Amino acid sequence: MTIYRSTTKTILFSALLLLSVAFSNKAVAQDGKALFNANCASCHKLDKDLTGPALMGVEERWGGSREKLIHWVKNSAAFLKTGDKHANELFNKWNKIPMPGYDGILSDADINAIFDYIAKGAAPAPTDNKAAEVKPVEKSNNNLLFGILTLILAIVAFVLINVNSNLKRLANEEQGLASSLPIPFWKNKTYITIIAVALFVTGGYLTTKGAIGLGRNTEYQPVQPIFYSHKVHAGVNQINCLYCHGGAEGGKHANIPSVNVCMNCHKAIHEYTGPALVDGNGKEVNGTEELQKLFKYAGFDPKNANNWNPNDAKPIEWVQIHSLPDHVYFNHSQHVVAGKVQCQTCHGEIDKMDEVKQVNDLSMGWCINCHRETKVQFKDNGFYSIYEKYHNELKSGKLDSTKGITVEKIGGTECQKCHY
């Protein structure tokens, strides 16, 4: 009986051991990645230098000694004092930025798991081939074709009209009717009228269009010094408009970000890997090359990223697109903070534009129309608290709260609101 019991015990024990080994192996392999992402990834990457060196092949560089590495990870300052040559060289090479100690945070097993993960190397990220295959949309220009067609039609019409008049003349002669002498077409009143009317209509249209278009720039889409895609930044990567254009809630201008704001992210992001970029003319743009332009302005060397000095940056001269004449006052913060108007209301779907273009004409009629239709955001808005009468009338139901108070009602169409 005792023998039987002990054998069952051994079998059970070994089974448990086997199980635990099998499970723990799996757990360790996964843990390595998770632990790396949680503790190391903010300064280290496997294949690229960040704040700290790239970790691929770190064990070979350290002479294959895990013990040294574990000591270093736990307390790098203490390890430096042991006078290890490689460690001290590294420390000096990386601007003497100390690596934080992980003693008490990571156990030996944890650190081993991380180094196992590093040794295996990260599984190659699934490459998105579809993105590369997207061909730029080719905009065909049909203007020439339409022009030729129009010309052919005009000639056909001219010939047909001539044939018609000749046939009429012949028919008349056949019947013995007197027919007038053929008039050359430059003396023919019909032709003269047609040309005069055509000139008048075309000229009138172009003059009116030109006059209205003075100072208005709908569809204006200039070439910028760097192909910066709002679609990639504000659309795909969901960066808030105010991250870069914070001035829109602080004052008159929605400021253009200075180079240091670009470098907040691009100090670490050196290449573009998203879907193909296409400019307004249908030409494909290389995002990584555009980033090189930014680095040139910033005085930044991607190979020596940790020694970048923001004072070396030179401003980028972006081309202004939206412009109001000097005789009208427009304030961004009034609209964004007090009015709670979305950026897209005036600027269009910026988050879907690779190259920004002006969507609205920014004419006075366009401003006034919006002021007539837009309801003032009265609710929970300190800016409009002085309109007590309106607040009371809305509350008592004297004013229809579904219709609300338009901007016009609080003086939003008075001349001196914008012109003074």
Partner 1 sequence: MKKLAFITCIATTIIMVSCNSSVKRHPNDAYIPDMGYSRAYETYADHSNLKEKGIKYNNMPVAGTVARGEDFPFPLAHDAVGDTTNYHLSKTVPNPYDSLSETDLVEAERLYLVHCGICHGKKLDGNGPLWKDGSGPYPAAPKNLITLNMPDGQMFYSITYGKGQMGSYASQLSRKHRWQIVTYIKEKQKAGK
Nearer to partner 1, 217 or 406 (CB): 217
Neighbours of 278 (CB within 10 A): 20
Supply the angle between the helices 287-298 and 259-266 in degrees, to the nearest 10.
120
Q: Looking at the DSSP assignment, which residues form a beta bridge with residue 278?
A: 284
Q: Taking the complex as a whole, how short is the minimal distance between the CB of residue 22 and partner 1, in angstroms?
A: 27
The pairing of beta strand 284-285 with beta strand 277-278: antiparallel
List the one residue from 217, 334, 360, 413 that touches partner 1 (CB under 8 A).
217
Helices 2-39 and 108-120: crossing angle in degrees, nearest 10, is 70
Tokens of 301: 């060397």
The binder of partner 1 chosen from 13, 23, 185, 205 (CB under 8 A): 205
326 binds partner 1 (CB under 8 A): yes
Q: Which of 43, 58, 38 is nearest to 118 (CA)?
A: 58
> At its nearest, how many Å lie between partner 1 and the CB of residue 320?
7
Which is nearer to partner 1, 143 or 180 (by Cβ)? 143
- Interface of this chain with partner 1, residues 9 to 38, rule: CB under 8 A: 37-38
Q: Quick check: 97 binds partner 1 (CB under 8 A)?
A: yes
Query: One-letter amino acid identity for 413?
Result: T
Q: DSSP secondary-structure letter at 406?
A: B
Measured distance CA(143)–CA(343) in Å, rounded:
35
Using rule CB under 8 A, residue 410 touches partner 1: no
Residues 40-69 that bind partner 1 (CB under 8 A): 40-43, 45, 48, 50-51
The greatest distance separating any two alpha carbons of the chain, rounded to the nearest whole angstrom, comes to 142
Other CB atoms closer than 10 Å to residue 150's CB: what's the count?
A: 10
**Binder among 53, 80, 136, 220 for partner 1 (CB under 8 A):** 220
Instruction: Supply the minimum distance, in Å, between the C-beta of residue 30 and partner 1.
Output: 14
Residue of the chain from 216, 352, 379, 389 that contacts partner 1 (CB under 8 A)? 216
Decide if 52 contacts 94 (C-beta within 8 A): yes
Q: How far apart are CA 117 and CA 300, in angstroms?
A: 32
Q: Is 112 in the site for partner 1 (CB under 8 A)?
A: no
411 binds partner 1 (CB under 8 A): no
Per CB under 8 A, does 381 bind partner 1?
no
The residue from 222, 299, 302, 348 that contacts partner 1 (CB under 8 A) is 222
User: In the complex, what is the shortest distance from the CB of residue 405 to partner 1, in angstroms, rounded to a whole number?
Assistant: 24
Stretch that binds partner 1, among 61-69, 93-101, 362-370, 391-399 (CB under 8 A): 93-101
Give the distance from CA 126 to its chain's centroid: 24
188 near partner 1 (CB under 8 A): no
CA atoms within 13 A on the CB side of 39: 22
Instruction: Indicate the residue among 48 and 68 with the shorter CB distance to partner 1.
Output: 48
Segment lying near partner 1 (by CB under 8 A), choices 39-47, 72-80, 336-344, 365-373: 39-47
Which 351-380 positions form the footprint of partner 1 (CB under 8 A)? 357
Tokens 């009209």 belong to 161
373, 406 contact by CB (below 8 A): yes
Please answer whether residues 14 and 7 qualify as being in contact, where contact means their C-beta atoms are separated by less than 8 angstroms: no
What's the DSSP call for residue 274? S
- Among 111-119, 267-275, 289-297, 368-376, the segment contacting partner 1 (CB under 8 A): 267-275
- Does 206 interact with partner 1 (rule: CB under 8 A)? yes
Interface of this chain with partner 1, residues 294 to 313, rule: CB under 8 A = 307, 310
C-beta of 205: minimal distance to partner 1 in Å? 6
DSSP state of 251: S
Evaluate whether 348 touches 394 at the Cβ level (below 8 Å): no
Min dist. Cβ of residue 222 to partner 1 (A): 6
Report 137-166 residues binding partner 1 (CB under 8 A).
Answer: 141, 143, 146-147, 150, 154, 157
Window 237 to 266, contacts with partner 1 (CB under 8 A): 237-240, 242-243, 246, 252-253, 255-256, 258, 260-261, 263-265
Q: What is the DSSP string of 322-335?
A: ----TTS---HHII
Residue 115 to residue 109: CA distance in whole angstroms:
10
Site for partner 1 contains 125 (CB under 8 A)? yes
Q: How many residues bind partner 1 (CB under 8 A)?
A: 75
